A = this chain, B = another copy of it.
């Protein structure tokens, strides 16, 4: 995960957590992140699919949290944005005629699963409320 999706999503959610239920527009949010509003809307769309935010179309529309910040774990955010494995994968498929090449992907997957488990557990212990309280 080398891209900015986790920090951007966390930034969006922190703003929403601090908005006290008021709807925030993608333009406003993009102004705080300093990125394009379309990126914000895409990310909000993803967070909505994950059940973390709700949004309203039309004039005076915008986004708000779908549930209390106390009930959103950082692991939920991670789960919503995760796409590639934590420690990366080689682009090419290793040589199946080599004992190591043949099985390395299996063993890597197992390792990654273990490692990701401790990471997710850690993130599960921190709520969005915890994180956003830091900005007071």
Q: A: which residues have CB within 8 A of B?
A: 1-8, 10-11, 14-15, 18, 31-35, 74, 78, 84, 86-95, 98-101, 103-104, 107-108, 111, 114-115, 118-119, 121-123, 126, 131-132, 134-135
Complex CA–CA separation, A95 to B101 (angstroms): 47
- Can you name the residue of chain B whose Cβ is closest to the Cβ of A130? B111
Complex CA–CA separation, A104 to B131 (angstroms): 10
Q: Is the CB of B6 within 8 A of A87?
A: yes
Write the nearest CB–CB distance from A34 to chain B, whole angstroms: 4
Q: Across the interface, which residues of B come within 8 angstroms of A101, CB to CB? A: 11, 32-34
Q: Across the interface, which residues of B come within 8 angstroms of A2, CB to CB? A: 1-3, 84, 88
- Can you name the residue of chain B whose Cβ is closest to the Cβ of A122? B118
Q: Across the interface, which residues of B come within 8 angstroms of A88, CB to CB? A: 1-7
Complex CA–CA separation, A8 to B88 (angstroms): 9
**With A6-B88, A107-B131 already in contact, 5 other A-B pairs whose C-beta atoms are closer than 8 Å:** A1-B88, A32-B95, A32-B101, A107-B134, A115-B122
Complex CA–CA separation, A78 to B119 (angstroms): 15
Q: Across the interface, which residues of B come within 8 angstroms of A34, CB to CB? A: 90, 92-95, 101
